[in-house]
């Protein structure tokens, strides 16, 4: 698990799925940084485990005090974190984003940040990238004690290996 602040971001991108933990963190950032745009990614296939509340995210953010005019659903449909990173990089390049924060789940943060860095670098962008994770409901020091945490950690280790091989993403960059 990692966290990387970037100061006052121009945009906050909320990765799809795990809405119950990611949206509150994004809303807090949007309230703290009132000039930042809130970007939402949209999966190609919405399932019960992948952004099952996609249609309600804008309304949820509105109820949390974020004006709809500050929210953008990225037009590219995505299938994975790599797609999300490239969709955000495309938007950032067209909107002169200098600082961007990725909001994701705690155990996904390392792979997400590495993937965004790889995508932004491959597109020649010099955007400062950060990552924000909600820590409610997670106990990193004792991750092996809960089945959900064990599955997620194993999944992310496999994801780190797969992304290194498939996309050339280094989690240590």
pLDDT digits (tens, 9 = 90+) for 30-78: 999 999 999 999 999 888 777 878 889 999 999 999 999 999 999 999 9
Range of the domain at 156: 11-167
In Å, how far are 1, 18, 130, 172 from 23, measured between CA atoms?
Answer: 18, 8, 16, 27
Among 69-73, 95-99, 136-140, name the one with the lowest average pLDDT.
136-140
pLDDT digits (tens, 9 = 90+) for 53-66: 888 999 999 999 99
Residue 79 resides in a domain: yes
> Model's pTM, two decimal places?
0.93
Structural domains in the chain (count) = 1
Q: What is the pLDDT of residue 173?
A: 64
Residue 45: count of CB within 10 angstroms of its CB: 8
Residue 11: count of CB within 10 angstroms of its CB: 23
Residue 93 resides in a domain: yes
CATH number at residue 34: 3.40.50.620
Residue 5 resides in a domain: no
Residue 2 resides in a domain: no
Residue 103 resides in a domain: yes
């Amino acid at each position: 698990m990692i966290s990387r602040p970037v100061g006052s971001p121009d945009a906050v991108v909320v990765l799809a799925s795990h809405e119950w933990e990611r949206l509150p963190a994004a809303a807090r950032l949007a309230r703290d940084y009132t000039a930042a745009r809130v970007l939402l990614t949209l999966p190609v296939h919405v399932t019960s485990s992948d952004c099952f509340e996609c249609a309600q995210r804008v309304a949820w953010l509105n109820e949390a005090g974020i004006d709809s005019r500050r929210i953008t659903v990225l037009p590219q449909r995505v299938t994975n974190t790599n797609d999300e990173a490239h969709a955000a990089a495309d938007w950032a390049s067209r909107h002169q984003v200098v600082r961007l924060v990725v909001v994701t789940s705690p155990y996904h943060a390392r792979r997400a940040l590495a993937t965004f860095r790889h995508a932004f670098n491959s597109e020649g962008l010099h955007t400062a990238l950060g990552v924000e994770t909600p820590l409610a409901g997670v106990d990193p020091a004792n991750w092996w004690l809960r089945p959900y945490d064990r599955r997620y950690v194993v999944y992310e280790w496999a994801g780190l290996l797969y992304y290194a091989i498939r996309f050339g993403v280094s989690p240590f960059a």
